[in-house]
């Protein structure tokens, strides 16, 4: 896990399999999440919320494969529930890492991020 711009707080909480803990940011910098070993992945899922009346978070999600970053989602995700986003452009890929960026102006709470393994 890395926070190159140091704008995230409690970063490890975003990847600890516990939706009771949270990483958070008020910035628009990436949080990079790295898998222990490369894995076959075609989707990710996030559990997040924005600290605003609407509570829906506007985020970007990128996957790293084939030696480059690939955006798989840019837009709003629903508050306080699991939301899956698929890699529609390239399907299943061998993934090394992912990154998440917040596009809002309040505080983003990222409770959990999971790489979607094939069933």
Comparing CA positions, the residue from 60, 66, 68 lying closest to residue 99 is 60
Instruction: Determine if the pTM surpasses 0.85.
Output: yes
Domains in the chain, CATH or no CATH each: 8-116 (2.60.120.260)
Q: What is the pLDDT of residues 67-97, one digit of tens each?
A: 999 999 999 888 889 999 998 888 899 999 9
Query: Tell me: the pLDDT tens digits for 38-55?
Result: 889 989 999 998 887 677
């Amino acid at each position: 896990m890395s926070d190159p711009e140091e704008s995230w707080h409690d970063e490890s909480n975003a990847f600890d399999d516990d939706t009771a803990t949270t990483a958070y940011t008020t910035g628009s910098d990436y949080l990079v999440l790295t898998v222990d070993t490369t894995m076959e992945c075609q989707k990710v899922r996030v559990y997040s919320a924005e600290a605003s009346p609407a509570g829906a978070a506007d985020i970007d999600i990128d996957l790293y494969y084939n030696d480059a970053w690939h955006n798989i989602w840019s837009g709003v995700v629903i508050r306080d529930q699991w939301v899956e986003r698929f890699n529609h452009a390239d399907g299943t890929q061998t993934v090394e890492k992912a990154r998440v960026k917040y596009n809002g102006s309040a505080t983003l709470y990222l409770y959990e991020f999971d790489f979607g393994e094939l069933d």
